[in-house]
Amino acid sequence: AYSTVAQCIAIICVSSPHYCNNTVVELSKMIGEPKYSESIKYVSLLTLGEIGRKFDLSSHSRLHVTILSLFSAHSEDIKSAAAFALGNVSAGNVSKYLPIVIKEITTDPKKRYLLLHSLKEIISRYSNEDGVKALGPFADDIWNILFDSGENIEEGTRGVVAECLGKLTLANPNKFLPELQKRLRSGSAQTRGTVVTAIKFTFINQGQEYDELLRPLIVDFLSLIQDSDLNVRRLSLSTLNSAAHNKPYLIRDVLGQLLPLLYSETEVKDNLIHMVEMGPFKHKVDDGLDIRKSAYECMYTLLETCLDKLEIYSFLSRVIDGLADQHDIAILSHTMLIRLAQVAPTAVTQRLDETVEPLKGTLTYRMKDNAVKSEIDKNNELCRSAVRTVVALNRLAEQGGSTPKFDAFIRDTKVGQWGDQFNTYQSEMESKESGSGHVGDSMDTS
């Protein structure tokens, strides 16, 4: 609501420029004087940002000083609004304000995170061809400062740095894409992670010219999936997932190179599993879990956007292995297996017997006597997902093929603990099929 109010006031100022100066003066008082409430300061900062985006406010010589002072406010909302205001006021007169922002980033580490958000607002305004001229004199300084800021900082701040780099790359891709590519070989894992995340933030661009520049480089960037650093691999998988979702045409023809790397990251790696002592108890920690989850999320996206480029047998092998993995991965695998049963029924039918052990393991798993409610609820969710998958697979078994192990599993499931749930889901599926008039919704791509 505050943001909408701020935008409305800014629109009124655009319509009536002679009122704008007085409005800015009043808003400056509201953010600078202690007597005004936090909510008034908040909406005033947002409004100054919206006005600054449309007007040059440099005639208000102390405005940026007042805004910067609020970077030390107790309220996180006020600090965030101040970063927004400074960035957008700066965008209204880059030549005056951008050097100030750059100087503050280099001299005040405590405020760097907020200042980077301000810088992001500025770059976002100019992340197009028209912005090259405006940012040109400062682009190299910004680029170097961003990479310097990306070292030895927390991941949240590196994310802002990467977004700034991505948007700056969009402003001048001919110059900065090769620069990003050079840093792929950096000895710093933080730099490599920042680079591959920066590429992810360029996927917002819908221009064909940029895509043609990125296309021959995309494999180079995404090959960081096999990086030696766990975090870089995870960030690279996130970028691949974003590419598959936003620009699948960039990766369709190179999936043959990328899929083996992706599938490798779905495997449980014993060297990443270790025991941690917590008082008298020992707890198993799997450092590879987040990476595997990211890899399966990529597979899920590719199944939707690049189905015709997938070799189904290999893909299905990784999905079947995922059935026995941790909760989130298993549920993703259930979802993909149901989808594959629709689009590649022949391939799935041939491997139904292989699904029995992991699905049976899920449905027969016994919780510990001291399990808490959240653990019980989570396990029940997983079991319901497994039953829904079993129902979908059973439709294939009923249509033909020799699947003795799976058939026996179905008989046991129908009379077991989850029999009622099986019947419920089966009735739901039959109802949907009778309503749509057909089984499945796609041709067999096996």
Rounded mean pLDDT, 106-123: 93
What sign results for the dihedral spanned by CA atoms 304, 305, 309, 314?
Answer: negative
For residue range 85-112, what is the model confidence (pLDDT) as tens digits?
A: 999 999 999 999 999 999 999 998 899 9
Closest CA to 67 of 51, 50, 44: 44
- Distance of alpha carbon 92 from alpha carbon 53, whole angstroms: 5
Identify whether the C-beta of residue 39 lies closer than 8 Å to the C-beta of residue 74.
Answer: no
Q: Which pLDDT value is given to residue 364?
A: 94
For residue range 169-190, what is the model confidence (pLDDT) as tens digits?
A: 998 899 999 999 999 999 999 9
Q: Which pLDDT value is given to residue 233?
A: 97
Residue in the block written with tokens 């110059």: 175
Residue 439 pLDDT greater than 70, yes or no: no
For residue range 319-364, what is the model confidence (pLDDT) as tens digits?
A: 999 999 999 999 999 999 999 999 999 999 999 999 999 999 999 9
Identify whether the C-beta of residue 91 lies closer than 8 Å to the C-beta of residue 121.
Answer: yes
Q: pTM for the whole thing?
A: 0.89
Nearest-5° angle of CA 332, CA 337, CA 339?
A: 100
Higher pLDDT, 85 or 131: 85
Identify whether the C-beta of residue 70 lies closer than 8 Å to the C-beta of residue 27.
Answer: no
Residue 440 pLDDT greater than 60, yes or no: no
Average pLDDT of the chain, as a whole number: 92
Residue 443 pLDDT greater than 90, yes or no: no
Residue 397 main-chain phi, psi, to 5 deg: -60, -35
For residue range 192-236, what is the model confidence (pLDDT) as tens digits?
A: 999 999 999 999 887 889 999 999 999 999 999 999 999 999 999
User: What is residue 250's DSSP assignment?
Assistant: G
Residue 168 main-chain phi, psi, to 5 deg: -65, -35
Beta bridge pairs of residue 210: none
Rounded mean pLDDT, 44-63: 94
